Amino acid sequence: MTTVYIISAPSGSGKSTLVDKAREIVPGLDFSISYTTRPPRGNEQNGREYFFVSREEFQDMIQRDEFLEYADVFGNYYGTAKTVLRQAEARGKDLLLDIDVQGAEQIKRKLPEAVSIFIMPPDRKVLEARLRKRSLDAEEVIQRRLVTASREIENYQKYDYILINDHLDESIDALMSILLAERLKRSGVQGSADDGETLAKAERCRLRNIRERLQPILASFATAATSGGR
């Protein structure tokens, strides 16, 4: 049975790096390449980072009910085609979905058994620094992404796991543990010391076990909102 993993995060949280590492290390994992109407950036290639289509093509796919989920983000459509799930099931693979909070909510309605993971930045200042370091966006875009991040983070309680991406190596290890722990639980085969350690690492990222660590992060975004920005 295919396990569907949903990963969401504010822009600049390091999600792409973590997902890429997970794909390198965890076997039996298919990755969904989303469709989008935004133009390619930098060295992006069609069929590698995204399937780049026109707005008209995307709307035709909506009319044909070809998406598991889709959303309009910053004026561009993004969506996950139903074919990716069918292909993963046919190959006996698990499926990793890199989608925003709107898409995650749609997927959970259709696939309530899907495992959802929210990647959280250490605080708002770190997120802003990461966005600036990328040098991809104009100032007004950075500010808009920070406002959007505040709104997305408000949805954290809808996710099964919260991963605070503070130290990269630790975050990669935590994400791997979550993916493998869910496999262990669903297979029903557990017992080794390594399995126990994997389950324990994943459990520490469970929403119910990480609420206290989240409080200063949430406060950093709330303080910025009440002070009008920085």
pLDDT at 229 over 60: no
Tokens 């949280």, located at residue:
13
Q: Are 35 and 58 in contact (CB under 8 A)?
A: yes
pLDDT at 61 over 70: yes
Q: What residue ranges define each of the domains in the chain, with the CATH number in brackets? A: 4-31+94-226 (3.40.50.300)
What is the 3-state secondary structure of 21-69? HHHHHCCCEEECCCEECCCCCCCCCECCCEEECCHHHHHHHHHCCCEEE
107-137 confidence digits (pLDDT tens):
999 999 999 999 999 999 999 999 988 766 7
Q: What is the sign of the dihedral through the CA atoms of 142, 146, 151 and 152?
A: positive
What's the pLDDT at 230? Answer: 42
Mean pLDDT, the chain, whole residue set: 91
168-216 confidence digits (pLDDT tens):
999 999 999 999 999 999 888 767 888 999 999 999 999 999 999 999 9
Q: Are 181 and 199 in contact (CB under 8 A)?
A: yes
Q: pTM for the whole thing?
A: 0.90
